[in-house]
A and B are shown apart, each in its own frame.
Chain A
């Protein structure tokens, strides 16, 4: 039993191991969760999921797998106490929404329709535009798009029994395949700190040697420690304007997180692609430009280079002299990118655009090739991979 459930968790890419699965079975044998689906849910989560970023995935698998098991237990009937429905709407509807309800003929009518639907409906439903369920556009249900809708199943069950926790999906924010907030970015960037003490042991550890010698009753015992690379240095190149506009908020978050994480952070802006000049202050970009060559000379090869841009542009902007949309560039952008990459061996390109759409844009493919395939999506999972690469 439950092996299917375990396999589904695995295929949902939750890192579960057989050992953890056996622990769950052991816990069940000891009757730690007995006779309650909710308890079982908590127990299974406790044993199998070890990071809150996977909670949402777990909830979804749980929901899908146990749907068929739970529903017959909680038989759907059309009975809903009137006062409870009212409470529900009062709880979830703001003033504006209440105004909007009038569009459907007022609250009473809405409630009446809801009751009627519930009577007609005998099984759980998803999608669609009429039935109550999840993900649809009907005014009733959860996760739907109808602004006049009443939320059901998201925050309270229809039976006033134990709320189905996994149905609430409270941990959705913590799922790391969604785009990230500053905190998530910080956690991801923090990984760059890790290699402060990595490397081969090559320096004499004086206190360690004294301690070891003393422990050796006076015979000299040399101890070595790895050299400290205590400063991670980062060069951040941000694309601004044009096609980047929809991603501004995300880039701001990345930027503010990066600013608080690194002591040595140098940032520059560019438009679409890097050419012979970049700038520091976007407001004064025309009078405060800095030659890219000066950047290369000023900052040593120990800096890590991070580009942030959607890389969506005309291919000529990368390949040709004079291809820039803003000015006449005497050398093609690709040459400048190569110059930067020659200086900074650890470089990645973070792309805020969705990864699945990359293959459809020629310029994205070209940039990716130029970067030696080091292009990552700007999600926390992508950022993780990028930072992992930079940390190598």
Chain B
């Protein structure tokens, strides 16, 4: 089975190759790229396209690698022991399975998303090396070895907030999602809003690429912002001619709140000429 994108997700050739290689060779695929270019979406769409169950493990700054495997709920066991619950004698009752375990024990192949791996502590990826490599781990409490019945397709996303350790990188395939070019972007818009007027898309893309090219933007709008913006443009019934007018006069685009998420960026747009010179 091969991944070729879906009716709502346009995958470029190199992305398809990356996903398919990761699938065939059973390696985790590390995906980086500008925010809003569909890194997290990728796992969802791969699962959907291939008809496989998806497990999502969202990483926070406090997430520990162990939590993905299993957790030992010692506190409930302590409570049960005070209450004389017979369950207390079997420690297995207090082992809570993590996402990795759930994906491992499935009879069919699953897709596992480890989202924003860079948010966690720097040691986090190192703690998962063996698990990702051998697709197995050991439960000390019950002296049990958990092995993956089918190696899940693992997709890991990163926003580059922390550097990932070399040992971890070596075990992954790496793909960098580039910001899509105009043609791909048009395709993406088409699959999301098939009924939208093409003249509106054309003008909107002009404005959008214009905004992206303003130097010094704190957060460049990306694909997801463009899609949001188009949605409000349609719902507010903005005419393409109006967009063209605002672009010609270098005004801030209508409903810019969907595109520019930073107050300083909005100001930047309002006075593009004042900030060309710099220096003391």
Interface residues of A (CB under 8 A from B): 15, 17, 19-20, 23, 26-27, 30, 32-33, 38-39, 42-43, 46-47, 49-52, 55, 165, 170-171, 187, 190-191, 194, 197, 211-212, 214-215, 217-218, 240-241, 245, 248-249, 252, 282
Contact = CB atoms under 8 A, between A and B. Distances in A.
Contact of B176 (A52, A214, A252): A52
Interface of B: 13-14, 17-18, 20-21, 24-25, 27, 30, 32, 72, 74-75, 77-78, 81, 121-122, 160-163, 166, 169-170, 172-176, 178, 278-280
Given A30-B25, A42-B18, A50-B30, A20 B75 contact: no
Given A27-B25, A42-B13, A252 B278 contact: yes
Given A42-B13, A194-B122, A282-B280, A19 B162 contact: no
Contact of A39 (B17, B25, B30, B121): B17
A249 B278 contact: yes
B132 to A, nearest CB: 14
Nearest to B216: A182
Contacts of A217: 77-78, 81
A20 B20 CA distance: 17
A52 B178 CA distance: 10
A43 B21 contact: yes
A51 B25 CA distance: 20
Contact of B161 (A46, A190, A215, A248): A190
A355 B74 CA distance: 57
Q: Which of B17, B27, B81, B161 has the most CB of A within 10 A?
A: B17
A190 B159 CA distance: 13
A249 B18 CA distance: 38
A32 B20 contact: yes
Contacts of B121: 197
Contacts of B21: 27, 32, 43, 46-47
A245 B279 CA distance: 8
Contact of A55 (B27, B173, B176): B176
26 contacts: A20-B170, A32-B21, A32-B24, A39-B13, A43-B17, A46-B173, A46-B174, A47-B21, A47-B173, A49-B174, A50-B30, A50-B169, A52-B32, A52-B176, A165-B14, A187-B163, A190-B161, A197-B121, A211-B75, A212-B74, A214-B75, A215-B74, A215-B77, A217-B78, A248-B280, A252-B278
A241 B172 CA distance: 47
Contact of B18 (A19, A46, A252): A46
A46 B78 contact: no
B279 A46 contact: no
A36 B279 CA distance: 50
Interface class of chain A by DSSP: helix
Nearest to A216: B74
Contact of A50 (B74, B122, B172): B172
Contacts of B161: 187, 190
Contact of A30 (B14, B24, B72, B280): B24
Contacts of A50: 30, 166, 169-170, 172, 174
Nearest to B171: A19
A19 B170 contact: yes
A42 B17 contact: yes
Nearest to B279: A248
A165 B12 CA distance: 13
A31 B81 CA distance: 58
B200 to A, nearest CB: 23
A171 B177 CA distance: 11
Q: Which of A46, A194, A249, A252 has the most CB of B within 10 A?
A: A46
Contacts of B77: 214-215, 217
A23 B74 contact: no
A241 B14 contact: no
B170 A32 contact: no
Given A39-B13, A171-B176, 16 more contacts: A20-B170, A23-B27, A46-B14, A46-B173, A46-B175, A49-B174, A50-B30, A50-B172, A51-B174, A165-B14, A187-B161, A218-B78, A245-B279, A248-B278, A249-B279, A282-B280
A13 to B, nearest CB: 14
A66 B214 CA distance: 37
Nearest to A188: B163
A38 B14 CA distance: 9
Contacts of B17: 32-33, 39, 42-43, 46
Nearest to B75: A214
Given A214-B74, A214-B75, A23 B166 contact: no
Given A17-B170, A32-B24, A215-B74, A240 B162 contact: no
Contact of B74 (A171, A211, A282): A211
A29 to B, nearest CB: 10
A23 B279 contact: no
A170 B235 CA distance: 36
B14 A42 contact: yes
A191 B78 contact: no
